[in-house]
Amino acid sequence: ENGYNLWLKYEPIKDAKLVAAYQENISSLYVYQKSETLDIATKEFITAFKGLTGKSISTSVSIQKNAILFIKTDDLQKLNITHPSPENDEGYLIKSIQHQGKPLTLISSKTDKGLLYGAFHLIKQLQLKQSIFNLNIWEEPKIKHRILNHWDNLDRSVERGYAGFSIWDWHKLPQYTDQRYIDYARANASIGINGTVLNNVNANSLILTDDWLKKVKALADVFRPYGIKVYLTARFSAPIEIGKLPTADPLDEKVQLWWQQKAKEIYASIPDFGGFLVKANSEGQPGPQNYGRTHADGANMLAKALEPYDGIVMWRAFVYDNEVPEDRAKQAFNEFKPLDGSFHKNVIIQVKNGAIDFQPREPFHPLFGALTKTPVMAEFQLTQEYLGFATHLAYLAPLFKECLDADTYAKGENSSVAKVIDGSLYKNQITAIAGVANIGNDVNWCGHPFAQANWYAYGRLAWNHQLSSSAIADEWLNTTFTGLQKTSSTLLKDMMLESRETVVNYMTPLGLHHIMGWDHHYGPGPWIKDKPRADWTSVYYHQADNNGIGFNRTSSGSKATLQYFSPVAQKFDDLKSCPEEYLLWFHHLPWDYKLKSGDSLWDGIVKKYYKGADEVKEMQKTWAAVEHDIDKQTYQQVKQLLTIQSEEALWWRDACVLYFQSFSGKPIPIGLPKPKHNLKYYQDLEFKFVPGI
């Protein structure tokens, strides 16, 4: 078992009674109107059914007893079936019905894509050994554009990618379409992902040239029948670099025309092209501010070029400026809030879950809820840039949920981030969500077998943010490790649900953040200082000195707390109500500050680091306990990765504790073992060729 088949493993179900029931009650497929997408749906179902139950079924020309009927909502009447179906284009109904005396399973949707989603749902029902009787499943996605962002470069390196090289084999495209593209599309369709940005936000304008657009078209053609649209990142200076214009000023007419022409060209070959994702005036990327223009000027120019074709612009709010002597956590809000209302209607602002940068834990970004006239989408990072790369096991659904479920209070209580991005709070027409992909050309796609769960969880939450982390883990575990007994499944689920908190404990407990190794972000580096920008150092973020530690973002400090709506602002601002998991994110506190546990802050920090490292040892034990239920190859892989994780957790623990001790001057609490090496040892470690840069 090499992990290639992800959660789409169709291995024989062992429960003979159940298999007999499935075999007996599914006879054939009946497709009312054929299409490429429905061919895919039926082929997938037939393959799955054969694999899971051993029975070969096929499509038939008439409706047989116990058939599965694939039919679009508009055609229902023609068969005299009257069942309400979802209004949403991608929604679907799966219902057990009686039709002319025959029991049938009806899958209906307004679109072929919805029927494909329905097929995958029914397959999952079988994979999870659930009932296929008396079905009445009504599904509709809450968010319209559910997108993966690939930070893939044209040379096939992947920025912050830890699972090998890019799966886009640009060199062989457009003539050669790798089977991987099809399997990628299948996997995404199975969890409802319907868009992919193919290239890095740190963009290369070459992608917009004719030769490269042919390659993009080839991918778009593969993905289309799976309901997946292709998007590209647009480098703002492209009109200069590939258009030979002297400027990229968004108010220059020639520049506007250039983009309009470019859009026309793209849509001529990719009629359903999704649009552009743009990182502008951020970390050295060009943008409208180079010409004294605003983000709105830049975004609107592109939006107008895409508008005739229904394309959208996802304009990132991940901006911060070294020249601005302001807390980096506040800068995106400061730049975008005043622009609310000035964006064209097909622009959506893409906001990272937190205000700094995909840390193991961040409070939700204050821009969620703050823009009332501009749609906002959330960007999560599936690739584990700050959570141990593809070597640490960290199930991220709890991280995503923490953000999605957070109440912004933008319109009073019950104004969750999820409601902002699903459009229900401000009635936005465009709704979207993005996940920075953790996919590469490793045989198992994601490097770590458990990292697949983050791709899966992202897709599931993008479809329905109300699902629980636990329910998603259950689904993923039991479709991925097909031989799991109930006890093993529970053990592994508990391990997954704890795993992200474990990483927080051994990396950045109590609200610490951004204290990783310089540049490559590998391992601990709380001592990082004296870099070209203060906000690229660790000391900027932890502010440790002999008196205490933490970034004062309260009203007596940077005032970042005040960017939140009341009463969230007060909650974070007031030490008494600030949740301890965000303590040092918002407060600078003396080493002897008393935590809720009664421990001093120093003791509390140290204990968390030790706890995190101990928890990885527990994960190792859990994994050993389920060995009998896991195939040999995967078992060994995860076992070895957990060994690395355990060593690295100790490394994080010891390096951080020793470093912070050099300020606190306090002993490691009695009973805890001493670090293996001295601080200098950790500070002197050097790493060359770390992946993902």
Write out the residues near ligand BDP by the rule CB under 6 A: 159-160, 201-202, 279, 283, 318, 357-358, 385
Q: Give the nearest distance from C-beta 200 to ligand BDP in angstroms.
A: 7
Would you call 94 helix, strand, or coil by DSSP? strand
Looking at the Cβ atoms of 223 and 522, the one nearer to ligand BDP is 522
Minimum distance from CB of 519 to ligand BDP (Å)? 9
Q: How far apart (Å, rounded) are the C-alpha atoms in residues 200 and 503?
A: 27
Angle at 386 between CA 418 and CA 523, to 5 degrees: 165
Task: Reply yes or no on whether 87 is catalytic.
Answer: no
Does 590 sit behind a cis peptide bond, omega within 30 degrees of 0 on the bond before it? no
36 is catalytic: no
Contacts of 671 by beta carbon, 8 Å cutoff, 6+ apart: none
Give the pairing type, strands 548-549 and 589-590: antiparallel
15 is catalytic: no
Instruction: Decide whether 11 or 283 has the Cβ nearer to ligand BDP.
Output: 283
What residue spans of 427-576 are helical by DSSP H? 452-463, 469-480, 486-507, 539-542, 568-573
Write down the least CB distance from residue 348 to ligand BDP, Å: 16
* Closer of 6 and 421 to ligand BDP (Cβ): 421
User: Within the chain, what is the greatest distance between any pair of CA atoms?
Assistant: 82
Q: Which of 268, 693 has the CB closer to ligand BDP?
A: 693
15 vs 283, which CB is nearer to ligand BDP? 283
> In terms of DSSP H, where are the helices of 165-308?
179-190, 210-223, 238-241, 253-269, 295-306
Nearer to ligand BDP by C-beta: 141 or 517?
517
Q: 160 or 215: whose CB is closer to ligand BDP?
A: 160
What DSSP assignment string belongs to 444-471? TSSSSGGGHHHHHHHHHHHH-TTS-HHH
Q: How far apart are CA 579 and CA 546, in angstroms?
A: 24
Which secondary-structure segment (H or E) carries 127?
Answer: helix 112-127
Active-site hit among 249, 327, 362, 385? 385
Main-chain phi, psi angles of 229, to 5 degrees: -95, 150
Q: Helical H runs in 274-319? A: 295-306
Complex with ligand BDP: residue 449 or 692, whichever CB lies closer: 692
Q: Which of 283, 592, 618, 627 is catalytic?
A: 283
Write down the least CB distance from residue 441 to ligand BDP, Å. Answer: 19
User: Of the listed 44, 112, 152, 357, which one is catalytic?
Assistant: 357
Residue tagged 């879950």 (tokens)? 353
User: Least distance to ligand BDP from the beta carbon of 619, Å?
Assistant: 26
The separation between CA 576 and the C-alpha centre of its own chain, rounded to angstroms, equals 33
The whole-angstrom separation of Cα 92 and Cα 84 is 10
To ligand BDP, the closest distance from the beta carbon of 358 in angstroms equals: 5
Contacts of 649 (CB under 8 A, 6+ apart): 502, 506, 612, 613, 616
Please choose, from the candidates 91, 83, 188, 196, the residue with its C-alpha nearest in 3D space to the C-alpha of residue 142: 91
Quickly tell me which residue has 């291995």 as its tokens. Answer: 11
Cβ-closest position to ligand BDP = 357
Question: What three-state secondary structure class fits 168?
Answer: coil
Tell me the backbone φ, ψ of residue 398, rounded to 5 degrees. -60, -35
How far the first Cα of the chain sits from its last, in Å, is 30
Give the nearest distance from C-beta 285 to ligand BDP in angstroms.
Answer: 8
Give the residue with the Cβ less far from ligand BDP, 160 or 465: 160
Residue 397 structure tokens = 């659904």
Q: Measured from the CB of residue 279, what is the shortest distance to ligand BDP in angstroms?
A: 5
Return the beta strands (E) in 100-226 as ranges.
102-109, 136-139, 145-149, 195-197
Pairing mode, if any, of strands 145-149 and 136-139? unpaired
Residues with catalytic annotation? 283, 357, 385
